[in-house]
């Protein structure tokens, strides 16, 4: 899970000679691959961009629990239920790591979560698609976590130290989830009934394109990429990562015995890559704007959880204060 | 040798853990804080894991070709042996935590007894589960105190939760005749010791924040140990068992 379309607020990437001495020193550190740490000086736009990106990433982990939570009560065996519960637990943990990394930048977790609930902050577009069958649990693990890993493996080298280190820990768990997801599909395809195989193909048909959209807009429509790349927050472009994902995923798709819902998908020996069809960018921008199939439900559920749980958090604070007073007396 | 009375006892343990784990799954994405998302799923995961261990053993003793999944996914509510307490709906966080605490206090005492069971398989499963239940009990008793001793609103909700759930605690303090026999044979936890430990734990946790302990709950027409459940279990199972029931030939 991760962030798409992160605004940098920067129109033009400055050359070294345009920079103040502080900015220049900062950029030289970046160019020398020296990690930026919380106490180091950094341009305000770098700080704000990272807050946006890491909070989006954290929100994605938390909202991403919902499509799976939709099936955890209906998992078809004890083993599958346990796997899904462990995965959801990991995701809550990833959310916590990421909010902590974000807070090293001086942002406040509750403020950023309030932005999510008011629709100001984004999360990955993929979680606005519904999970309609058990096969979706496999497809989400394989395709969605798979796309997240392609992105996150690169982010292990991102220039901000706390974010890079969070990614190292998260990637290990995500790879495990992805293999589990694939194994769910493989079991259904190889040992299952025709009804189950149909379920798998249907899940792939519905989630294939949304998974490709997880890499964000194509490079020509990605105005914030240049600055993010110069700051080495991003290490590779959206299109490069998307291509890598497709190249590594198509053989897995073939091994399953399934097809992609893309008549233009074919190996291009000249490029050494798979060619693929056009992404429905209108759909992508609508979903990002809040008009996807589940945007209302997802944000509504999260808002209800936090607003409806306010009395619990208030009780915890009040109780802690009373205990402190008691101990002090 | 103890096979006959042991099976319903294993089902009591396994079904209670499973149904409670299922209830905790329903919280996914809806908890009052992210830390609680993690904790509720963590506790649920422990319980479903334990359920699998108990049901595996029950299936072996039954020896009729069914495995733990068949027991979980293809038994109707009249064959389920879980405590009535754990099938109760989540309600608000106070109801969930009160239910958790009542169950944990029982579960912890039962597992302590079972860790010394003369049945090595039971003792082994219980010893592992006891570590988990110790954590569960610490967590739920702390929440009972936070809510009971927090704000006026949290205390009001806590009192309402106790009132709602107290009637089901009769099952935690009264074992069946079979259990008494199994306990005398050194296999099951002694129901009298469990009841004493349960009452002591509830009294101590409540006393710390001056929550009143109600009069002992009286006999309650239904009986989870006999498969006589509240109306909540049927719906819970309909949801949980949907896939294996709808696709009986499938391999997941």
Instruction: Please state which of the ranges A1-10, A285-294, A314-323, B231-240 shows the lowest mean pLDDT.
Output: A1-10
CA-nearest residue of chain B to A110? B33
Q: Per-residue pLDDT tens for B24-81?
A: 999 999 999 999 999 999 999 999 999 999 999 999 999 999 999 999 999 999 999 9
**DSSP type of residue A290:** I
Q: What percent of chain A has pLDDT over 70?
A: 99
Mean pLDDT, chain A, integer: 94
- pLDDT at residue B168 above 50? yes
Q: What backbone torsions phi and psi does residue B249 show, to the nearest 5 degrees? A: -95, 0
- pLDDT at residue A125, as a whole number: 94
**Is residue B2 over pLDDT 60?**
no
| Residues on chain B touching A73 (C-beta within 8 angstroms) | 22, 25-26, 239-240
Interface probe with A: pick from B23, B37, B68, most Cβ of A within 10 Å: B37
pLDDT tens-place string over residues A139-153: 999 999 999 999 999
Residue A6 is predicted with a pLDDT of 78
pLDDT of residue A19: 87
Q: Is the pLDDT of residue A3 over 80?
A: no
- Name the token pair of A293: 């199939």
Residue A158 near residue A98 (C-beta atoms within 8 A): no
Do the Cβ atoms of B149 and A86 come within 8 Å?
no
* CA-to-CA separations, B198 to A103, A235, B97, B107, in angstroms, rounded: 42, 57, 16, 9
Residue A5 has pLDDT above 80, yes or no: no
Cβ distance of B252 and A195 shorter than 8 Å: no
DSSP characters over B108-123: HHHHHHHTT-SSHHHH
Q: Which of B22, B36, B45 sits opposite A86 (nearest CB)?
A: B45
Tell me the sheet residues that pair with A266: A275
* pLDDT of B29: 96
A191 chain-B contacts, CB cut-off 8 A? 251
pLDDT at A163 exceeding the cut of 90: yes
The DSSP bridge partners found for residue B223 are B228
Contact indicator for B82, B18 with CB cutoff of 8 Å: yes
- Identity of the residue in B25, B38, B251 whose CB atom sits nearest the CB atom of A92: B38
Minimal C-alpha gap between A186 and chain B (Å): 10
Q: Assign residue B148 a region: left if phi > 0, alpha if psi is -120 to 50, beta otherwise?
A: alpha
Place of tokens 């459940």: B229
State how far the Cα of B220 lies from the Cα of B109, in Å rounded to an integer.
Answer: 22
pLDDT band for position A71 (cuts 50, 70, 90): very high
3-state secondary structure of A268: strand
- The share of chain B scoring above pLDDT 90, in percent, equals 94
Q: Are B24 and B16 in contact (CB under 8 A)?
A: no
* Spatial distance between the Cα atoms of B103 and B99, rounded to a whole number of angstroms: 6
Chain A nearest C-alpha distance from B214 (Å): 23
State pLDDT tens for residues B19-36.
999 999 999 999 999 999
3-state secondary structure of A201: helix
- What ipTM does this complex have? 0.96
Which chain A residue shows the shortest CA-CA distance from B246?
A76
Alpha helix ranges (H) inside A192-309: 194-213, 225-230, 238-256, 281-286, 295-308
Counting one residue from chain A and one from chain B, the pairs whose CB atoms sit within 8 A come to 149
Q: How far is Cα A75 from Cα B243, in angstroms, rounded to an integer? A: 8
Flag if A196 and B73 touch (Cβ within 8 Å).
no
Amino acid A225: pLDDT: 84
**Does position B3 have pLDDT exceeding 70, yes or no?**
no
Q: Which residues of A touch B132 (CB under 8 A)?
A: none
Which tokens is A159 given? 């220039």
d(CA A263, CA A260): 8
């Amino acid at each position: 899970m991760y962030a798409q379309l992160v605004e940098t607020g920067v129109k033009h990437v400055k050359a070294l000679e345009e920079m103040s001495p502080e900015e220049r020193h900062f950029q030289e550190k970046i160019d020398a691959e020296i990690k930026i740490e919380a106490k180091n000086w950094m341009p305000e736009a770098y700080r704000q961009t990272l807050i946006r990106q890491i909070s989006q990433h954290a929100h994605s982990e938390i909202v991403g629990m919902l499509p799976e939570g939709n099936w955890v009560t209906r998992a078809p065996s004890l083993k599958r239920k346990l796997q899904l519960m462990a995965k959801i637990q990991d995701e809550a943990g990833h959310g916590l790591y990421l909010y902590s990394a974000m807070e090293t930048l001086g942002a406040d977790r509750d403020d950023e979560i309030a932005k999510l609930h008011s629709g100001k902050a984004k999360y990955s577009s993929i979680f606005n698609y519904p999970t309609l069958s058990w096969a979706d649990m496999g497809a989400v693990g394989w395709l969605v976590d798979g796309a997240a890993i392609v992105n996150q493996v690169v982010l292990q080298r991102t220039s901000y130290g706390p974010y890079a280190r969070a990614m190292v820990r998260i990637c290990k768990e995500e790879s495990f989830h992805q293999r589990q997801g694939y194994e769910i599909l493989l079991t259904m395809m190889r040992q299952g009934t025709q009804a189950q195989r149909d379920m798998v193909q249907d899940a792939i048909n519905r989630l294939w394109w949304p998974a490709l959209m997880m890499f964000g807009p194509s490079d020509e429509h990605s105005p914030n990429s240049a600055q993010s790349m110069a700051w080495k927050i991003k290490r590779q472009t959206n299109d490069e990562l998307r291509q890598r994902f497709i190249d590594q995923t198509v053989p897995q798709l073939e091994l399953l015995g399934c097809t992609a819902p893309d008549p233009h998908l074919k190996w291009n020996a000249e490029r050494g890559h798979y060619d693929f069809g056009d992404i429905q960018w209108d759909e992508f921008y609508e979903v990002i704007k809040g008009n996807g199939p589940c945007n209302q439900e997802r944000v509504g559920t999260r808002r209800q959880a936090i607003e409806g749980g306010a009395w619990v958090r208030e009780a915890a604070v009040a109780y802690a204060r009373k205990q402190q007073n008691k101990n002090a007396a | 040798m103890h096979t006959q009375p042991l099976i319903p006892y294993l089902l009591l343990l396994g079904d209670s853990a499973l149904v409670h784990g299922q209830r905790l799954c329903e919280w996914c994405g809806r908890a009052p804080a992210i830390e609680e998302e993690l904790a509720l799923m963590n506790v649920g995961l422990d319980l479903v894991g334990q359920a699998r261990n108990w049901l595996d053993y029950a299936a072996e003793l039954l020896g009729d070709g069914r495995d733990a999944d068949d027991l979980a996914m293809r038994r109707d509510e009249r064959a389920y042996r879980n405590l009535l307490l754990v099938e109760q709906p989540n309600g608000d966080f106070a109801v969930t935590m009160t239910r958790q605490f009542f169950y944990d206090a029982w579960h912890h005492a039962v597992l302590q007894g079972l860790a010394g069971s003369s049945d090595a398989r039971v003792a082994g499963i219980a010893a592992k589960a006891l570590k988990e239940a110790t954590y569960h009990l610490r967590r739920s008793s702390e929440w009972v105190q936070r809510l009971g001793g927090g704000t006026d609103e949290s205390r009001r909700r806590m009192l309402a939760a106790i009132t709602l759930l107290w009637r089901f605690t009769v099952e935690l303090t009264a074992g069946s005749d079979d259990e008494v026999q199994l306990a005398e044979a050194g296999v099951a936890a002694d129901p009298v010791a469990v009841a004493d430990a349960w009452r002591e734990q509830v009294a101590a946790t409540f006393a710390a924040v001056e929550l009143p302990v109600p009069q002992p709950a009286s006999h309650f027409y239904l009986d989870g140990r006999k498969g006589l459940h509240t109306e909540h279990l049927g719906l819970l199972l309909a949801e949980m068992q949907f896939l294996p029931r709808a696709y009986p030939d499938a391999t997941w």
